[in-house]
């Protein structure tokens, strides 16, 4: 049950202005005040002595709407969001893809979110048809959908699922997004599928079928070429661009150059690309899209995350069972890739691989896991920061708690997670959404329906000067 007022006492509160050793007052689902200890008062008190209070994690990259059916999204929200709040996620954006006009299903889709999720949910709609381009303004104005995803590639069987769209379609879409104004933004999956198909055929003919062969079939140039092309399209059309799952030093360099020129280009990476490299013995779990890269690439991605060239961390969370579809040990080309049911792993992995190993500060961790996703997709400062007036979405973390990563530790309804067996240093112990406690000490204490649909407002023809997040 929601408390109209709650005082969180004695926390280490990570705000955009620094860490405050003190208290935070919540009223009616929002943050009313933050102060040093002893100034604020309430009849309802939660003492979190010794623990860090962070904004709730915002996962910018999930796949809970794979078929464009509101009923599928509703089912996945009920099955997946408990694991998310156990990992400190309070909001996420999910790809919603359909082979028909979105105007036919968006009203029902919003209803599906409101009644079935423990987290707040925003939509990235996947652009496939001319009708989708025609609907962009309607989706932005009527439903607060401001993020539009493209899969540049051949309109043929070379592109998995038939989601490839040609460059002309992408360019027209970018131009339309530019005309809609802030915070509308394009997203583009950056791999060259024609090159991948050619290299895959060569490697298969040579009898190469292990993890390294998979990585060699999708070389760095596959990502670099598409990133450079999409950045050029964004420059010429004036379209803000979000590039997910960056893995290579070459792509980092292209994004860095565009941002220095003042273009609104945002790069995302993922925990597994910061944790593993292509030489780690992960067969066949090491089958990823895009693939794992060299240790040198991993180091460069970490550098880019700290310098602001890369701005966000996503999971690519896909609700699925994996072991039934596992590639056989002697043929990496068959079967499915590694399961991505990992939104709830973002914070534990970043605390372990990043903070505990001295690769990232707690302040920068909050920026890339919480603040920047909100800025990227038009939800800041309502989401993504602990500030007076912001929604009371937060996670309370015990940096001294050690937990071994298992599916059951995060109540993940799948048979495998990529970080299984990792000894995590630091763990979320409480999660609040809109001022309501939804997770406490590993227990879900609220039912579905706490989360809200994240509608964003379009500012007409206004443009954001320079990159919108660091």
185 in a domain, yes or no? yes
Would you say residue 438 lies in a domain? no
pLDDT at 340 over 90: no
Question: In terms of DSSP bridges, do strands 89-96 and 120-126 run parallel, antiparallel, or are they unpaired?
Answer: parallel
Query: What's the pLDDT score for residue 323?
Result: 66
Q: What is the mean pLDDT of residues 337-360?
A: 91
Whether 46 is covered by a domain: the verdict is: no
Of the pLDDT bands very low, low, confident and very high (cuts 50, 70, 90), residue 356 is: very high
- Residue 368 belongs to a domain: yes
Region of 282 (left: φ > 0; alpha: ψ -120 to 50; beta: rest) is alpha
- Residue 38 domain-assigned? no
The C-alpha angle with vertex 193 and arms to 239 and 216, in degrees rounded to 5, equals 120
Residue 127: CATH number of its domain: 3.20.20.140
Q: What is the mean pLDDT of the chain?
A: 93
Whether 226 shows a pLDDT value over 90: the answer reads yes
Domain membership of residue 285 (yes or no) is: yes
- Indicate whether 327 pLDDT > 70: yes
For the cut 60, the answer to whether the pLDDT of residue 339 exceeds it is no
pLDDT at 267 (0 to 100): 98
Mean pLDDT of 296-303: 98
Q: How confident is the model at residue 1 (pLDDT cuts 50, 70, 90)?
A: very low
**408: pLDDT strictly greater than 70:** yes
**Count: domains in the chain:** 1
| Residue-wise burial string across 71-84, b where 16 or more C-beta atoms lie within 10 A, e elsewhere | ebbbebbbbbbbbb
Check whether 415 has a pLDDT greater than 80: no
φ, ψ of residue 173 in degrees (nearest 5):
-65, -45
Instruction: Give the residue numbers spanning the domain of 144.
Output: 56-376
Confidence check: pLDDT of 9 > 50: yes
Whether residue 440 is predicted with pLDDT greater than 70 in this model: the reply is yes
Does 241 fall in a domain? yes
For 149-185, what is each residue's pLDDT tens digit? 999 998 876 777 788 999 999 999 999 999 999 999 9
Q: Is residue 415 part of a domain?
A: no
pLDDT score at 322: 66
């Amino acid at each position: 049950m929601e408390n109209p007022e709650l005082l969180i006492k004695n926390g280490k509160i990570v705000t955009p202005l620094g860490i405050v050793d003190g208290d935070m007052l919540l009223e009616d689902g929002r943050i009313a005040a933050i102060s040093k200890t002893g100034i604020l008062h309430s009849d309802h008190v939660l003492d979190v002595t010794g623990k860090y209070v962070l904004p709730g994690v915002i996962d910018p990259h999930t796949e809970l709407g794979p078929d464009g059916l509101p009923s599928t999204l509703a089912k996945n929200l009920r099955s997946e969001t408990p694991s998310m709040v156990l990992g400190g996620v309070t909001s996420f954006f999910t790809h919603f893809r359909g082979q028909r006009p979105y105007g036919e299903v968006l009203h029902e889709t919003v209803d599906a979110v409101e009644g079935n999720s423990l987290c707040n949910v925003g939509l990235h709609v996947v652009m496939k048809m001319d009708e989708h381009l025609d609907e962009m303004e309607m989706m932005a104005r009527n439903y607060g959908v401001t993020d539009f995803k493209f899969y540049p590639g051949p309109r043929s069987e070379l592109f998995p699922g038939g989601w490839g769209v040609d460059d002309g379609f992408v360019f027209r879409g970018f131009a339309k997004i530019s005309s809609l104004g802030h915070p509308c933004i394009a997203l583009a999956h950056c791999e060259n599928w024609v090159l991948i198909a050619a290299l895959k055929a060569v490697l298969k003919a040579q009898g190469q079928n292990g993890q390294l062969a998979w990585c060699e079939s999708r070389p760095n140039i596959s990502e670099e070429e598409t990133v450079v092309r999409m950045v050029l399209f964004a420059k010429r059309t004036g379209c803000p661009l979000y590039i997910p799952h960056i893995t290579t030093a070459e792509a980092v360099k292209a994004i860095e150059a565009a941002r220095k020129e003042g273009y609104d280009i945002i790069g995302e990476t993922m925990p597994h690309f910061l944790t593993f490299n292509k030489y780690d013995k992960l067969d066949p779990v090491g089958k990823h899209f895009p693939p794992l890269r060299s240790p040198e690439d991993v180091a460069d991605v970490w550098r880019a995350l700290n310098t602001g060239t890369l701005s966000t961390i996503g999971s690519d969370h896909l609700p699925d069972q994996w072991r039934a579809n596992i590639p056989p040990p002697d043929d990496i080309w068959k079967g499915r890739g590694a399961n991505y049911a990992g939104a709830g792993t973002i914070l534990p992995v970043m605390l372990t691989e990043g903070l505990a190993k001295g690769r990232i500060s707690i302040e920068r961790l909050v920026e890339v896991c919480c603040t920047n996703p909100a800025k990227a997709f038009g939800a800041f400062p309502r989401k993504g920061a602990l500030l007076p007036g912001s929604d009371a979405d937060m996670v309370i973390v015990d940096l001294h708690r050690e937990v071994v990563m298992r599916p059951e530790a995060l109540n993940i309804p799948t048979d495998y997670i990529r970080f299984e067996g990792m000894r995590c240093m630091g763990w979320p112990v409480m999660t609040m959404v809109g001022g309501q406690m939804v997770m406490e000490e590993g227990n879900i204490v609220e039912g579905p329906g706490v989360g809200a649909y994240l509608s964003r407002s379009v500012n007409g023809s206004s443009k954001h000067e320079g990159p919108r997040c660091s």
